Structure 1
Amino acid sequence: MDASRLKRWAPWVAALAALVAGLLIGLALRADRGPAPEHDPRAIANRVLISVREQGRIVTYSARFAAIVSARESRLGMTAEKTLILPGTARYSVDLSRLRRQNLAWDAPTSTLTVTLPPLEIDGPQIDFGDVREYSDGGLLLALTDSGRTLDQANRRSAQDELMRQARAGTATHLAQDAAMRIVARAFALPLRSAGIDASVAVRFVDPAGREDASFLDRPVRIEDAVRNNAS
Structure 2
Amino acid sequence: MRGRLAVLPWLLFLCASAVAALLAWEMWKPEQIGDPLATSLIAFDKQDRLTVFSAELAPVVASDDSRLFGLVTSRQVAVIPARVEYAIELGKVGRDRMRWDAVSKTLSVRLPALDVSRPNLDEARAQYLREGVWITRAAQDKLTRDNTKLAERLAVEQAANPVLLRLARSAAKDAIRQNLSIPLRVAGFGEVNVSVSIDGEPAKP
* TM-score under structure 1 length normalisation: 0.63
Q: CA deviation at 1:115?
A: 0.3
Question: SS of the residue aligned with 1:139?
Answer: coil
Is 2:170 the partner of 1:178? Answer: yes
Distance 2:70 2:43 in 1: 67
Mark the CA change 1:58 to 1:214 in structure 2 (over 3 Å): closer, same or farther: farther
Q: Aligned residues, how many?
A: 174
- 1:48 is matched with which residue? 40
- 2:95 is matched with which residue? 101
- 1:166 is matched with which residue? 158
Is 2:56 the partner of 1:64? Answer: yes
Distance 1:53 1:39 in 2: 18
Is 2:85 the partner of 1:91? Answer: yes
Mark the CA change 1:35 to 1:122 in structure 2 (over 3 Å): closer, same or farther: farther
Percent identity between the two aligned chains: 24
Q: Which has the larger radius of gyration?
A: 2
- 1:188 is matched with which residue? 180
* Aligned partner of 2:196 among 187, 199, 203: 203
- 1:127 is matched with which residue? 121
Q: CA deviation at 1:150?
A: 4.3
Is 2:72 the partner of 1:81? Answer: no
Contact 1:115 1:204 in 2 (8 A): yes
Distance 2:122 2:162 in 1: 22
Q: CA deviation at 1:155?
A: 1.9
Q: CA deviation at 1:152?
A: 3.2
**5+ residue gaps in structure 1?**
1-33, 216-232
| Ranges of 4+ aligned residues in structure 1 off by more than 6 Å | none
Distance 1:191 1:131 in 2: 42
Which residue type is aligned with residue 166 of structure 2? Answer: H
Distance 2:166 2:160 in 1: 10
Contact 1:57 1:96 in 2 (8 A): yes
Q: CA deviation at 1:100?
A: 0.5
Which residue type is aligned with residue 203 of structure 1? Answer: V
Which residue type is aligned with residue 72 of structure 1? Answer: D
Q: CA deviation at 1:123?
A: 2.3
**CA RMSD between the two structures:** 2.9
Q: Name which structure has the greater RCO, CA cutoff 8 Å, separation 6+.
A: 2
Q: CA deviation at 1:153?
A: 3.6
